[in-house]
């Protein structure tokens, strides 16, 4: 009920205050139009910002297509508050950066030659031809600064019907850039739409082409998929799950998402936990995945820590009871909450009642901080030196062993025994 009301309010707000009425954006379009007659359209919004505007979704990135060259754009904005960054000059793209905006401007173009990864392009001033080289109909909807739609591929109709279609021949579109297969999966999950047989066949015939794509580009697209609010609905489409599994064979445990849905919705699950649920097993699959895709050290650490503690959890029945406070101290509450969720997703014998009780224990447990440091030791008669670290470690061990309690006399006794 609340979500419906919120969406209704969002629609009203975005109808009254559409993003394209912003003064800064109007200034950008005015600069791009300078020197051209009013009957020539020099620039239009395109891609995700238009799609999200029509769907009343939150707009994050703004892309603008223009008949101007990158050199013309640089010249027009050299004495303005916008900084021009040459982000993709080879492909006719620059980024305008201001205090409030980061706008990606790309010259209209058509592909001359493609190899499945990169394209040789020719710059044009034909909006129809520019639309024909894009991936999906829903990404080829253009919007001018006055709110007028230009939709040569009928993408707005497909958007309304949650229909994700390649522009023209799916086989040809995929062969131009094999990454479009993964992008197709993302949009299909996002809009909860079915896979047409011809598209399904074209994708399966070209799966080997993904090997030509850099692991970095693949990982970026994968993260976008994991960040979708409805990613856990993947299993509802046998065709999508099959394609996803063929691209990412490391994810052998997709069925675990069904149990995860019982306790969480996707908006409350971070991508790291989703990776853990799909990867962690007895074969150290998460380590292979991390190496293959060269994931960040932070995510590697997160997965390794969850995998290690999940093994300890299986071996220690007191992990969430009598040993809970110690485990919180060595990790933190948030990590143990994630571990509890992971355990429920993986362990079919772990009942919802037990999950809930352990979650309550974690949330209500005390957290402890070890307050003894080198300065404290020196005030109590210990000289600074190599032994200090060993003494601190011994004091901490005794403090933990005694349920996070230790007296001054006990500390002084440890100092006396280990300071020689």
- Give the CATH number for residue 181: 1.10.110.30
Residue 333 shares a structural domain with residue 396: no
Residue 386 has pLDDT above 80, yes or no: no
* E strand or H helix at 65: strand 62-66
> Collapsing DSSP states into helix, strand and coil, what is residue 227?
coil
DSSP alpha helix (H) spans, 23-145: 23-33, 48-55, 70-76, 127-132
Residue 405 has pLDDT above 60, yes or no: yes
State the Cα–Cα distance between residues 307 and 322, nearest whole angstrom. 21
> Collapsing DSSP states into helix, strand and coil, what is residue 113?
strand
Domain with 195 in it: 169-249
Residue 219 shares a structural domain with residue 70: no
Sequence-separated (6 or more) residues with CB below 8 Å from residue 19? 25, 49, 53, 59, 62
Residue 182 shares a structural domain with residue 217: yes
Per-residue pLDDT at 1: 40
DSSP string, 141-198: -EE-TTS-EE-TT-HHHHHHTT---BSS-HHHHHHHBTTHHHHHHHHHHHHT-PPPHH
The two tokens of residue 367 are 């957290």
pLDDT-derived band at 418, boundaries 50, 70, 90: confident
Residue 265 shares a structural domain with residue 351: yes
Residue 49 shares a structural domain with residue 117: yes
Lowest-confidence segment of 104-118, 142-156, 330-344, 400-414 by average pLDDT: 104-118
Residue 144 shares a structural domain with residue 182: no
Residue 115 shares a structural domain with residue 208: no
Residue 281 has pLDDT above 50, yes or no: yes
Per-residue pLDDT at 117: 67
Supply φ then ψ for residue 380, to 5 degrees: -105, 25
Residue 280 shares a structural domain with residue 318: yes
Per-residue pLDDT at 376: 85
Residue 249 has pLDDT above 90, yes or no: yes
- Do residues 115 and 19 lie in contact, with contact meaning Cβ atoms separated by under 8 Å? no
Per-residue pLDDT at 2: 41
- Do residues 247 and 207 lie in contact, with contact meaning Cβ atoms separated by under 8 Å? yes
Residue 254 has pLDDT above 80, yes or no: yes
> Can you give the CATH number for the domain in which 105 is found?
3.30.460.10
CA 270 to chain centre: 8
**Helix-strand-coil split of the chain, %, nearest 5:** 55, 10, 35
Q: How many helices (H) and strands (E) does the chain have?
A: 21, 9
Residue 7 shares a structural domain with residue 141: yes
Residue 5 has pLDDT above 70, yes or no: no
Sequence-separated (6 or more) residues with CB below 8 Å from residue 351? none
Per-residue pLDDT at 283: 87
- What is the pLDDT of the chain when averaged over all its residues? 91
Pick from 249, 278, 298: which residue ends a domain?
249
pLDDT-derived band at 131, boundaries 50, 70, 90: very high
pLDDT-derived band at 187, boundaries 50, 70, 90: very high
Per-residue pLDDT at 16: 62
pLDDT-derived band at 360, boundaries 50, 70, 90: very high
In terms of phi and psi (left: phi > 0; alpha: psi -120 to 50; beta: otherwise), the region of 73 is alpha
| CA dihedral over 115, 121, 126, 131, signed as positive or negative | positive
Lowest-confidence segment of 7-21, 135-149, 211-225 by average pLDDT: 7-21
Q: What does R_g of the chain's alpha carbons equal in angstroms? A: 28
Residue 177 shares a structural domain with residue 298: no
Pick from 140, 161, 182: which residue ends a domain?
161
What are all long-range contacts of 109-113, with beta carbons under 8 Å and residues at least 24 apart? Answer: 109/133, 111/176
CA 129 to chain centre: 32
Residue 363 shares a structural domain with residue 411: no
> Collapsing DSSP states into helix, strand and coil, what is residue 3?
helix
> Collapsing DSSP states into helix, strand and coil, what is residue 46?
strand
Q: Which residue has the higher pLDDT, 264 or 74?
A: 74
State the Cα–Cα distance between residues 362 and 25, nearest whole angstrom. 48
DSSP alpha helix (H) spans, 34-126: 48-55, 70-76
Per-residue pLDDT at 15: 64
Count of domains in the chain?
A: 4
Tens of pLDDT, residue by residue over 194-225, are: 788 889 999 999 999 999 999 999 999 999 99
State the Cα–Cα distance between residues 2 and 390, nearest whole angstrom. 56
Name the CA dihedral angle for 201, 202, 204, 205, rounded to a multiple of 10 degrees: 110
Neighbours of 242 (CB within 10 A): 14
Supply φ then ψ for residue 63, to 5 degrees: -110, 140
Sequence-separated (6 or more) residues with CB below 8 Å from residue 183? 135, 136, 221
Tens of pLDDT, residue by residue over 22-71, are: 999 999 999 999 999 999 999 999 999 999 999 988 898 999 999 999 99
The two tokens of residue 127 are 């909006």
Residue 95 shares a structural domain with residue 64: yes
Alpha carbon separation from 180 to 168, 183, 279, 346 (Å, rounded): 14, 5, 24, 32
Pick from 368, 387, 408: which residue ends a domain?
368
Per-residue pLDDT at 17: 75
The two tokens of residue 394 are 């011994």
pLDDT above 70 covers a percentage of the chain that reads: 94
In terms of phi and psi (left: phi > 0; alpha: psi -120 to 50; beta: otherwise), the region of 92 is left
Q: Would you give the DSSP letter of residue 57?
A: P
State the Cα–Cα distance between residues 10 and 12, nearest whole angstrom. 5
Per-residue pLDDT at 11: 64
Cα of first residue to Cα of last residue in the chain, in angstroms, is: 70
pLDDT-derived band at 91, boundaries 50, 70, 90: confident
């Amino acid at each position: 009920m609340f979500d419906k009301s919120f969406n209704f309010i969002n629609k009203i707000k975005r109808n009254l205050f559409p993003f394209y009425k912003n003064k800064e954006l109007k200034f950008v379009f005015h600069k791009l139009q300078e020197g051209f007659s009013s009957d020539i359209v020099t620039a239009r919004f395109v891609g995700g910002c238009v799609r999200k505007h029509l769907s009343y979704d939150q707009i994050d990135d703004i892309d603008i297509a223009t008949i101007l060259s990158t050199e013309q754009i640089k010249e027009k904005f050299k004495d303005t508050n916008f900084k021009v960054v040459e982000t993709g000059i080879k492909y006719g793209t620059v980024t305008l950066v201001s205090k409030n905006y980061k706008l990606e401007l790309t010259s209209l173009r058509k592909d001359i030659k493609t190899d499945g990864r990169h394209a040789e392009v020719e710059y044009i001033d034909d909006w129809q031809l520019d639309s024909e080289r894009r991936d999906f109909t829903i990404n080829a909807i253009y919007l001018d600064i006055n709110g007028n739609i230009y939709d040569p591929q009928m993408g707005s109709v497909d958007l309304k019907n949650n229909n994700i279609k390649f522009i023209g021949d799916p086989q040809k579109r995929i062969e131009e850039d094999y990454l479009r297969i993964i992008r197709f999966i993302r949009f299909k999950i996002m809009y909860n739409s079915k896979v047409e047989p011809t598209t399904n066949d074209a994708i399966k015939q070209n799966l080997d082409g993904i090997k030509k794509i850099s692991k970095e580009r693949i990982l970026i697209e994968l993260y976008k998929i994991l960040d979708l609010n409805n990613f856990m609905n993947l299993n509802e489409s046998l065709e999508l799950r099959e394609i996803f599994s063929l691209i990412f064979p490391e994810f052998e445990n997709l069925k675990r998402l069904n149990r995860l849905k019982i306790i969480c919705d996707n908006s409350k699950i971070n991508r790291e936990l989703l990776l853990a649920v799909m990867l962690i097993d007895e074969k150290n699959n998460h380590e292979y995945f991390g190496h293959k895709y060269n994931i960040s050290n932070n995510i590697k650490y997160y997965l390794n820590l969850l995998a290690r503690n999940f093994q300890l959890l299986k071996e220690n029945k007191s992990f969430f009871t009598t040993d809970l406070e110690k485990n919180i101290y060595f990790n933190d509450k948030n990590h143990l909450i994630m571990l509890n969720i992971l355990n429920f997703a993986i362990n079919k014998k772990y009942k919802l009642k037990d999950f809930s009780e352990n979650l309550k224990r974690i949330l209500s447990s005390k957290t402890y901080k070890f307050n003894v440091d080198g300065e404290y030791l020196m005030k109590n008669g210990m000289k600074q030196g190599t032994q200090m670290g060993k003494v601190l470690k011994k004091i901490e061990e005794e403090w933990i062993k005694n349920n996070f309690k230790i007296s001054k006399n006990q500390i002084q006794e440890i100092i006396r025994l280990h300071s020689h």
